Amino acid sequence: MEARLIYNPTAGPRNVQRDLRHVCAILERQGWTVELATTERPGDAKRLAQSAAAQGCGVAIAAGGDGTINEVVNGLVGTQTALGVLPVGTGNMWAKQLGLSTYTLVNPFRLHEAALGLTEGTIRSMDVGQVGETYFLCWAGIGLDAQVVAEMEPRQRHTKRLGALPYLIAAIIVARDFRGVRARVSLDGKVVRGRVLLVLVSNIRQYGGVFEVARTACIDDGLLDVFVFKGLGFPYIVKHVLRIISQRYLHDPQVVHRQVRRIDMWTEPDVPVQVDGDPVDRTPVTLRVVPRALKVVWPPGAPRDLFAADM
């Protein structure tokens, strides 16, 4: 197998590159040919993934956080090159959905385990979401969480090392003053109106690496799970969070859940849109699913029931 390992040096501990060389050695002992490529600026990971696909690489491995993985995805959609991941960033939401442990200085062998998972995995095709010209692997958010992302990104390296803590602090500050917006949300043509705090469009089951919000989602069914969280201000935000924690949110009349192919959303005033933790747009916005457009390496220990089709 020919592979390109795309590494973002601003993600993870400073000495991760040394362990990535060990990963390359592990892959090469398994018969792989691996090129290690390092990003220098935003957009590099996408360009490196595109060139890997053009050169006929079987796998493009993203070694970084959610932003790096998203860039690699955007370089691979519609190609025959599969996405592989080595979780070395601070977010790693896709890796968490796969059940992969994040690399740490205390346990660098997690990278070695992830590398072996690549060599033992199978190639599957999965859906991606799309906003304008940008694809997303995990989810898109419109409203509250996108406002938090807009406040946080781009982060400096020292901030990234603090993990989720800066996001939590920013979320509390933003949520305290966020009152929602008047919105019209078209879900495959069926319209939901009201004052909206957040519209979550999910391709996977987990949200934020903590909550399993889209519990029945499959990543190859040609559908996106959409959750419209209604309400006015901070008390409703707290209520929604508590109901998500207690798994009672689907019985809340202030929450609309649908599985759809297309979402059109208008708001007054306009609000930010984020995909996979990066800001991309503002409302009005259209999101759609692109069925089975991305090939992925599925490690042997990853959840099998995320696929509707038999494995």
Q: What is the pLDDT of residues 200-216, one digit of tens each?
A: 999 999 998 778 999 99
The whole-angstrom separation of Cα 11 and Cα 42 is: 13
| Total-model pTM | 0.92
Query: Nearest-CA neighbor of 86 among 164, 72, 74?
Result: 72
Model confidence over 223-247: pLDDT tens digits?
A: 999 999 999 999 999 999 999 988 8
CATH 2.60.200.40 domain range(s) in the chain: 134-289
What is the DSSP secondary structure assignment for residue 221, as one 8-state letter? S
Predicted local confidence at residue 153, as pLDDT: 67
Specify the residue for token string 């000495």. Answer: 15
Q: Are 90 and 13 in contact (CB under 8 A)?
A: no
User: What tokens does 190 get?
Assistant: 């069926």
Provide the total of helices (H) and of strands (E) in the chain, helices listed first. 9, 17
The whole-angstrom separation of Cα 56 and Cα 52 is: 6
Residue 154: burial class (beta carbons within 10 Å; 0-12, 13-18, 19+): exposed
Cα 190 to chain centroid, rounded: 26
Predicted local confidence at residue 100, as pLDDT: 86
Predicted local confidence at residue 105, as pLDDT: 61
Predicted local confidence at residue 157, as pLDDT: 47
User: What tokens does 84 get?
Assistant: 């592989």
Widest Cα–Cα separation across the chain: 58
Phi and psi torsions of 273, nearest 5° = -125, 135
Predicted local confidence at residue 164, as pLDDT: 63
Region for residue 20 given its phi and psi (left: phi exceeds 0; alpha: psi -120 to 50; beta: otherwise):
alpha
- 134-289: CATH topology is Tumour Suppressor Smad4 (2.60.200)
List the chain residues with pLDDT less than 50: 156-158
Q: Are 82 and 295 in contact (CB under 8 A)?
A: yes
Q: Are 60 and 76 in contact (CB under 8 A)?
A: yes
Predicted local confidence at residue 101, as pLDDT: 77
In this structure, the number of other CB atoms found within 10 A of the CB of residue 164 comes to 13
The whole-angstrom separation of Cα 164 and Cα 273 is: 20
User: What tokens does 143 get?
Assistant: 């409203």
Predicted local confidence at residue 158, as pLDDT: 45
Whether the ω angle into residue 291 lies within 30 degrees of 0, i.e. cis, is: no
Query: Nearest-CA neighbor of 179 among 260, 110, 234?
Result: 234
Predicted local confidence at residue 170, as pLDDT: 81
In this structure, the number of other CB atoms found within 10 A of the CB of residue 55 comes to 11
CB-based contacts of 15, cutoff 8 Å, min separation 6: 105
Indicate the SS3 state at residue 303. Answer: coil
Assess if CATH 3.40.50.970 describes domain 2-120.
Answer: no
In this structure, the number of other CB atoms found within 10 A of the CB of residue 235 comes to 9
Predicted local confidence at residue 131, as pLDDT: 98
Predicted local confidence at residue 87, as pLDDT: 86
